[in-house]
Structure formats: C-alpha cells, structure tokens
C-alpha cells in the first residue's frame, strides 16, 4: 500500500532529479558558450597570423625579384645594359614601397603579444634594407668583397625567413587541450 511517506519520498527524489537535470543543462550551456567564445578567439588569432604571413610573403616576393636582378648585376657590373639597370631601380623602389606591409605585419604581431616574432621579422627586414643599400642601379660595379658579402646576406635572409615561418607556424596551430 502506498503511504504518504512513500509519495513524499518519490516527490523529493523526482524534484532532486529535476533540479540536478536543470543544473546540468545550465552548466552545459555555459560551458558550450565559453568554448565557442574560445574557438572564435582562436579563429580570429589564426586569421591575423594568416594576414601576417601574407604581408611577409608579398615583401619576400618583391625581394626575390630584386635579388634576381641584383645577382645578375653582380655578374655583369659596368657592362650591364641600361634597361636592366632601370628594372633594378624600379624593383628597388617597389621593394621600398611594399615595406609598409612588413610594418603592418610587425604591428599585428605586437597586437597579438608576439614580441619575439616581431623582433625576428624586424631583423629580417633590416637585412633586406642592408642588401638594398649595398646594391642599387646607380652603382657602377661591385668589388669582390661586396659580392661575397651579398652571398652571406642572401643566406642570412633566407635563414631568417625560414626560422620566422617555423616560429609562426608553431603559434598558428593552437595547442591541443589536455583531457
């Protein structure tokens, strides 16, 4: 026979289960909301890293054009034709104007709190500027020492770019959450 005490216990158990379920749903919704916010932040951070990579890529593309012409100049020196000199001057000017993209990338990295990446990018840019100051269209020819220095700077710039992108790719991929 069902007594009042059994009904009372049943109501209390049901109420407890209902409250537990509601509390669990509240916790679940709150947790999912935090997860989606964190995912949005990670997504935005990755987009900014992609922007940085694009800016550096643009600068490096123009640098590669400049480097090809500079290398050609080292071979011919004074005997280099005027149209090629003019092209070196034009690409040198383009390199100077595209450097704003490098500045944007540095600023974005600072905004993201990536001081080490920004510093390595600044060094990369400084080496390109150093190269551009050594080789320019108005220069008549390069000494053997300058040609050797050019090779060293080219290698340094290549290594700086590679190490920058290695570090950037590590920061681009978020760490997996430990379970």
pLDDT in tens, the chain (179 residues): 668 888 888 888 888 888 888 888 888 787 776 677 778 888 899 999 999 999 999 999 999 999 888 888 877 777 888 898 899 889 989 998 999 999 999 999 999 999 999 999 999 999 999 888 877 667 666 677 777 778 888 899 999 999 999 999 998 886 654 43
Q: Is the dihedral of CA 108, 109, 113, 118 positive or negative?
A: negative
Can you point out the beta strands (E) in the chain?
A: none
Asked if 150 and 131 count as a contact pair (C-beta separation under 8 A), the reply is: yes
- Residue 3's alpha-carbon distances to 6, 7, 10, 11, in angstroms, are 5, 7, 11, 13
């Amino acid at each position: 026979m069902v007594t009042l005490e059994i009904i009372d216990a049943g109501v209390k158990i049901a109420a407890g289960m209902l409250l537990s379920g509601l509390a669990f749903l509240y916790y679940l919704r709150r947790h999912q909301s935090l997860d989606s916010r964190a995912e949005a932040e990670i997504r935005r951070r990755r987009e900014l890293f992609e922007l940085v990579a694009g800016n550096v890529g643009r600068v490096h593309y123009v640098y590669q054009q400049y480097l090809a012409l500079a290398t050609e100049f080292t071979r011919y020196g004074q005997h280099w034709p005027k149209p090629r000199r003019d092209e070196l001057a034009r690409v040198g000017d383009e390199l100077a104007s595209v450097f704003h993209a490098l500045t944007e990338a540095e600023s974005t990295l600072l905004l993201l709190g990536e001081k080490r990446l920004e510093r390595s990018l600044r060094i990369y840019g400084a080496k390109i500027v150093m190269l551009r100051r050594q080789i320019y269209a108005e220069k008549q020819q390069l000494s053997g020492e300058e040609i050797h220095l050019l090779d060293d700077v080219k290698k340094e710039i290549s290594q700086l770019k590679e190490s920058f992108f290695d570090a950037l790719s590590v920061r681009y991929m978020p760490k997996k959450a430990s379970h």
